[in-house]
């Protein structure tokens, strides 16, 4: 919920777009943040302009590598 | 992992595109399935052509309503 408020705040401060990023299990939370912002707080004022998914390779302390999925959701002010 | 194999199977059977859908906490799993299929099994053969997010309202047995986020990822054969 704090992320929703942070997103709303960015728009209220005049930003025209906000990118919500998350990795791994938090990906579903990022989608929730985007949807709640769009549907409950800023209806008809913002829209999802782009969604990108990808993979990031994290290197552990002992040289091990681990792939983690990521998402980037761009919310844009409707014109 | 079974979902990855199911997706690979669809392409191997000749499909030109596969849509991976998930709701709620499974959303991150859907992204994993798309990324693993694309990066490990069908490199350079498929690409993410579209990602859509949305909200679905589930109605409970006693008339209660609950919103749940959803994602749809379209994988497409590269031409």
Rounded to whole angstroms, the Cα distance separating B17 from B36 reads 16
ipTM of the complex: 0.89
Q: Which residues of B fall below an 8 Å CB-CB distance to A?
A: 24-28, 31-32, 34-35, 39, 48, 51-55, 67, 69-71, 73
Give the DSSP letter of residue A79: -
pTM value is: 0.92
Q: Distance (Å) from the C-alpha of residue B19 to the closest C-alpha of chain A?
A: 14
Residues of A in contact with B31 (CB under 8 A): 27, 53, 69-71
Q: Distance (Å) from the C-alpha of residue A39 to the closest C-alpha of chain B?
A: 9
Rounded to whole angstroms, the Cα distance separating A33 from A22 reads 11
Q: Could you tell me which residues are beta bridge partners of residue B77?
A: B46
Give me the tens of pLDDT residue by residue for chain B, a chain 79 residues long: 799 999 999 999 999 999 999 999 999 999 999 999 999 999 989 999 999 999 999 887 777 889 999 999 999 999 7
């Amino acid at each position: 919920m704090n992320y929703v408020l942070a997103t709303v705040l960015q728009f209220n401060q005049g930003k025209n777009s906000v990118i919500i990023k998350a990795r791994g299990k938090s990906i579903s939370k990022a989608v929730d943040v985007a949807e709640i912002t769009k549907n409950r707080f800023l209806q008809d004022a913002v829209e999802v302009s782009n969604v990108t998914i990808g993979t990031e390779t994290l290197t552990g302390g002992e040289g091990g590598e681990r792939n983690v999925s990521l998402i980037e959701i761009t919310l844009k002010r409707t014109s």
